[in-house]
Structure 1
Amino acid sequence: MEKVVIVGGGPAGRVFVHGLHSSNKKFDVTLIKDEPINVNRCAVPYGIEDSKPVEKYCIPNSLVTDFGAKLVIDTADYIDTNNQTVKTLNSGSFKYDYLLLATGSKPIIPNIEGVNLKNIISVRSKSDMEMLRLYSKECKKCVVIGGGYIGVEVAVILKKLGLDVTIVEMLPHILLSTIDDDFVNEIESHVKENGINLMTNSKAVRFEGDKKVEKVVFEDGTKVDTDFVVVSIGVTPNTELAEKSGIVVSRYGIVTNEYLQTNVENIYSAGDCAEKKSFITKKPTRGEFGTNAVFMGKVVTKNIIGKKTVFPGVINANASTAFSYSFGSAGLIYKIAKSEGIDVVVGESEVMDMYPMMDGVKSIKTKLVFNKDNGKLIGGAVLRHGHCTAGNVDFISFGIQMGATVDDLLNYQYTTHPELAAKPSDNTYMFAARDALKKM
């Protein structure tokens, strides 16, 4: 029986375990991870409010052990690629015929004075969530460093719990890596209206305090009082094990081929730690989303059981919320497409989410990005009231994956209902495609 070792307990590793378990082939599977219990990382902001026990936000180890894998709680320290062995700090060595590196990512911590003071928290682990729960009860003021999805989500939850919250962002706006500026302007206004302080174009250079942070000091000399700090400026691929074992890495992660195999035979990589290529440009790109890890884990499974499968690249479908708004994007938003040198046309629409005579009707704003040369959909973004944007983003992502064109979106068949959708003539994607066609 072939031996398979997985290093990492995130979604890529778990999906891989499930795929091997359901295949017709039999494997001896061992999963090594260094966290006794993994938290659902995307859910950490929502676990700050303590109406549910912490365990509700954690991933049970039975999702590994119930599917035939042996679980080892330890740190993988070195891979002997010649002898196909993974060495751990405390549990000995494990032989493999196939190895999956799914070591995930780690939070980026700014290298500034005072960063080691005890009330500075990341948003990553079970212990982070527990500390955030504690501080949200004991404290009145918080500074969130980083205005991406996680930073904004944490800020919104803390504000809802009654804290005075300030978001600090180095860039001119929050959320700039995923949403175009006009949508961001509207989201920022909404966030401010709900009482969150925004400091954009601002860089923290020092944390001041005796044992714990009391002030955040900025580049221009401004000081902001705080009871604790949340650092959420992004993550970096966890490639240390691969690097020290002679496996090729780049700044984007562990380098793989189209089958997600590394430069070492029988060693694969998936998830946050692995370099990804864009579905559209085929260039290396970032994409630290749990769904990408799942897709990659499935591809590795197929390749190991003998169904040779190419990973097509990431579309990076994403969504988030801020108070009563939800928003998201897939593929290349306009400014990213332009930075890649692609000649694009953007179609825009604004339709109602229900028939106009219905109570509570709100708008849906959609932007679709088409390659001007061939009319293909390569990106899009959505902003709307309510928490329904994920379905809109999924549609855009699927359209990109299927190679949909302007004509396809002008002529696709859709549903309507007074309470559930726009009136029959007013489909948001069709209107955006029609706008793009005029500009073409």
Structure 2
Amino acid sequence: MSSEKIVIVGANHAGLAVARNLIDSGKEFEITMIDKSDDLGYLSCGTPLLLGNEVNSYRNFFYIKNDELRKQIAALHTKAQVKSIDFRNKKVIFRDKQGLQGVKYDKLVLATGASQVSLGISGSDLRGIYRIKNLNEALEVNQRLDLNNVKNVAIIGGGYIGIEVAEAIQKRGKHVTIYDANPYLMSAHYDEQFGHLVEGRLREKGIDLCLAEEVQSYVGKAGKIAQIITDRGKYLTDMVILTMGFLPNTSLGRFHLELYTNGAYIVNEYQQTSDPDVYAVGDCSTSYSNILKELVVNFSVSDAMRGAYVAAKNIAGETISSNGTQTSNAVQVFGLNLFSTGITVTQAERYNIPCEYVDYETWQRPKFMLKNDRVKLRLVYHKQTHRLLGAQIATESDQAGTLHMLSLAIQKEVTIDELKVSDFFFYPYFNQPENFVIEATRKMKKESGRSVD
């Protein structure tokens, strides 16, 4: 009996994770991977560290070396462009340095990722305007930052990527300005008061913010970017870095597979598309929101890795399903740590979910501890059922574990009332006798925020 043929298009976080999990399954597969790049498994989350001169070499930002991967799978085609997919005859047509080729599959995995949204405005083709999702552009930006004539750098997009890049470039001695059309930073994951905390920290470090401003065009000089035009003003700049939103890369299957509103492949709980022999993972596919009870697209590495695990297990014959997403995330801004999971009050308003929230601020440890940090917490919960819907934390301490716990609580539909009497340990090096999450839930009756009906 011949091995089942698996073709994976895209050797990024998700694609490599599918291959690794199939290999670890102990079953025999004939795995072929195809990718347009030669920089497989580049950890783009390391780009801000590279730009901030906080790492010795970018060469450590890779999951695996190409030669090592080739030893583990049947074939690896890099710098290859997939031209089309014959879904009826189960064949992927691609071109690489060997010319036009085709490979048959029993199961196909699409891990084609996403591309940054283009503003499509005048001057977008000027030199000095960069996207930094891929390694080559990150290296070019890093090299240009060494030039003395690059003094003013504009970051377009006030999400967590833009903020991390802004901090990194400020540490290189450049004057940085962040432009965002939203009224406050990090609006996709945080309510306004948490966005203002980030803004305050950035301004303390000399970073300028142009919020509620829409970039309308770029003006160049001798073919290079020289000026940004917004709906509120004109600004000189020597470099522009685009960090705003993404759209899924789904052109290969758009005429055969069912698509979400933004073009992502719609997948079920097993990561199967509308074609049961085709799986999709990572930024090109949907996830299921445990709060909204509907499909969403969550551009995150953790979602990609989880989806890859689920897809590989099902391909290998073990039926498991995804548990959905809470869209958890975190960011560090000049020592200030922000954590978020679930939905914000603003998002609850948008989706007409009746909610209330409680804000609480305290010390992380007992007051007698010499080393201590303030912790600011917001819990968002359903007005009628008291089910936890979201949480936001701001502190200089590490609260990743707290966020993971709250994310799981949302997934399991835990209520605020259940959290009030949950079992949390106490040790003065870590927390107070009453954990700040429990303290917040017990104050909800007295200090709850406005309801959203």
The count of corresponding residues between Structure 1 and Structure 2 is 435
Deviation at 1:178, TM superposition (A): 0.6
Deviations 1:307-329 (CA, angstroms, capped at 9, x unpaired): 22222322111000111201021
8 Å CA contact 1:86–1:93 kept in 2: the answer is: yes
Matched, 1:383 2:394: yes
* Superposed counterparts of 1:33-182, under 5 Å: 33-38=35-40, 39-50=42-53, 51-62=55-66, 64-65=69-70, 67-68=72-73, 70-73=75-78, 74-90=80-96, 92-138=101-147, 139-182=150-193
Aligned with 1:310 (options 312, 321, 326): 321
Q: Which residue in 2 is equivalent to 1:347?
A: 358
Corresponding residue of 2:24: 22
SS in 2 for 1:19: helix
Q: Compute the displacement of 1:32 (Å).
A: 0.9
Distance 1:80 1:339 in 2: 41
- Unmatched segments (≥5 aa) in structure 2: none
Identical residues among aligned pairs (%): 27
Residue by residue over 1:232-269, the C-alpha shift from the partner in whole angstroms, topping out at 9 and shown as x without a partner, is: 1111111111115x222223301222322112230011
In the other structure, the counterpart of 1:248 is 258
Instruction: Assess if the C-alpha contact under 8 Å between 1:318 and 1:390 holds in 2.
Output: no
Quote the residue 2:15 is aligned against: 13
Q: How far off is 1:67 after superposition?
A: 4.0
**Deviation larger for 206-215 or 163-172:** 206-215
- 1 CA distance for matches of 2:72 and 2:368? 52
SS of 1:241's partner is: coil
Which one-letter code corresponds to 1:392 in the other structure?
T
SS at match of 2:146: helix
CA separation in 2, counterparts of 1:71 and 1:105? 21
**1:421-440 equivalences in 2 (<5 Å):** 421-425=430-434, 427-438=435-446, 439=448
Between the aligned partners of 2:71 and 2:59, the Cα distance in structure 1 is 18
Give the TM-score taking structure 2 as reference length. Answer: 0.92
Q: Which runs of 5+ in 1 are unaligned?
A: none
- AA aligned to 1:32 is I
Compute the TM-score of the two structures, normalised by the length of structure 1.
0.94
Tell whether 2:208 aligns with 1:197: yes
Measure, in 2, the Cα distance between the counterparts of 1:88 and 1:185: 48
Instruction: Name which of structure 1's ranges 92-101 and 202-211 shifts more when overlaid on structure 2.
Output: 202-211
Tell me the distance in 1 between the aligned counterparts of 2:133 and 2:157. 14
* 1:287 positional shift: 0.6
Aligned partner (choices 406, 409, 417) of residue 407 of structure 1: 417
8 Å CA contact 2:285–2:297 kept in 1: the answer is no
Quote the Cα distance in structure 1 between the aligned partners of 2:279 and 2:337.
36
What is the Cα deviation at residue 69 of structure 1? Answer: 5.1
Contact 1:14–1:64, Cα closer than 8 Å, also in 2: no
Q: Is the 8 A contact 2:388 2:414 kept in 1?
A: yes
Which SS does the other structure have where 1:242 is aligned? coil
Describe how 1:329-368 pairs up with structure 2 within 5 A: 329-368=340-379
Query: Are 1:45 and 1:123, in contact at CA under 8 Å, matched by a contact in 2?
Result: no
Distance in structure 2 (CA, Å) of the matches to 1:64 and 1:414: 44
Q: Is the 8 A contact 1:37 1:59 kept in 2?
A: no
Which digits, 9 at most, give the CA deviation of each residue in 1:272-302, with x for residues without a partner?
Answer: 0012221222222231000000111111112
In 1, Cα distance between the equivalents of 2:33 and 2:444? 49
Q: Distance in 2 between matches of 1:58 and 1:149?
A: 22
